[in-house]
Amino acid sequence: MVHKVKNYFHHHLARPLYSLIRPLQPIFNLKKRTFFDKFKVRTKDGVEFWLYNNAFFWETEMFWVGFENFNYEGKTRELWCELSKKSNIILDIGANSGWFSVMAKAYNPAATVHAFEPQPNIFKVLKKNSEINSFDIHCHQLALSNQKGEFPFYNTGANTFTSENTNHGSLNKEWRPEKQKSIMVQVDKLDNVIDSLKIPKVDLVKIDVETLEAEVLEGYMRCLQAHMPTILLEIQNEIVGGRILELLEGTGFRYFLIDEENGIEQVQNLGLKLESKNRNYLLIATEKLNMVEFFLK
């Protein structure tokens, strides 16, 4: 009986109650309690959308402090939203619960958005985020890499494939090996997916796959030169960055480090600066630089 009451509270009553007391949180340093429910997000541009919180850490944080005060990839989110307004076909690779996919549709309802997330429990939330906004995001329970087949997908923690969202999921067994568990997931090359779904020219891509960003690009090389999309991606270290530079040599991309507080800064190397909050990069064709001039430091 107690369990049923708690479950009902967390799914139906918690979010409305916490919304009432939320303004008091910074004053009295109230604990940021979590819940299972949707909550509305409003950006500084006046754009509104819903996100579903499955009692995940980052969604809980965003609910309590607000979208604009949420201290996570602030400049990357701002840049993504601006670029989404100018893009027709958008790919969110390693979509997790779908913030970036939802932001893309909220800022550009006419865009076609494809979101790729292999982890089943996280994929369910991704689909839910599309549904609660009445968006037509194309959600694919699939990992992208440089090969096709069924492969182990690794994550950390006892409940990582049931109730938790660690943001650590990867096809790379060597990535965060502590308390590691795995499941089998479907994997394909982006080139194959583009062919099978008959996706025309891609304009904007986000890649966040926990150290295997180069493998995703390797599986896209046949179409990449024709598309020349603007790419936002995470680079965890110099090794990953070096592989990406090798793959893209001679393609005409310019490289920018995204400083999450100050804007973008052109760089020649990728993955050299290892500050935890500045691991995202912008890759953009020279002829498209006017699209991001506003963000230059």
> How do residues 86-125 score in pLDDT, each as one tens digit?
999 999 999 999 999 999 999 999 999 999 999 999 999 9
Q: What is the pLDDT of residue 274?
A: 66
- On whether both 27 and 85 belong to a single domain, the answer is no
Dist CA 137 CA 36 (whole Å): 22
Residue where one domain finishes, among candidates 66, 91, 113: 66
- On whether both 57 and 182 belong to a single domain, the answer is no
Which tens digit of pLDDT belongs to each residue from 264-284? 999 999 998 666 678 999 999
Residue where one domain finishes, among candidates 40, 66, 92: 66
- On whether both 144 and 269 belong to a single domain, the answer is yes
If you average pLDDT over residues 48-68, what whole number do you get?
95
**How many domains does the structure of the chain reveal?**
2
Which tens digit of pLDDT belongs to each residue from 204-216? 999 999 999 999 9
Share of the chain above pLDDT 90, in %: 89
- On whether both 102 and 58 belong to a single domain, the answer is no
Please say if the pLDDT value at position 192 is more than 90: yes
- On whether both 79 and 59 belong to a single domain, the answer is no
- On whether both 95 and 52 belong to a single domain, the answer is no
Q: Which domain holds residue 164?
A: 73-295
- On whether both 24 and 119 belong to a single domain, the answer is no
**CB-based contacts of 81-86 (< 8 A; 24+ apart in sequence):** 81/43, 81/45, 81/47, 81/107, 82/107, 82/291, 82/292, 82/294, 82/295, 83/204, 83/230, 83/232, 83/291, 83/292, 84/108, 84/111, 84/204, 86/203, 86/291
- On whether both 108 and 239 belong to a single domain, the answer is yes
- On whether both 248 and 137 belong to a single domain, the answer is yes
- On whether both 82 and 46 belong to a single domain, the answer is no
- On whether both 257 and 181 belong to a single domain, the answer is yes
- CATH, residue 218: 3.40.50.150
Residue where one domain finishes, among candidates 9, 44, 66: 66
- On whether both 217 and 239 belong to a single domain, the answer is yes
CA angle 281, 174, 183 (to 5 degrees): 100
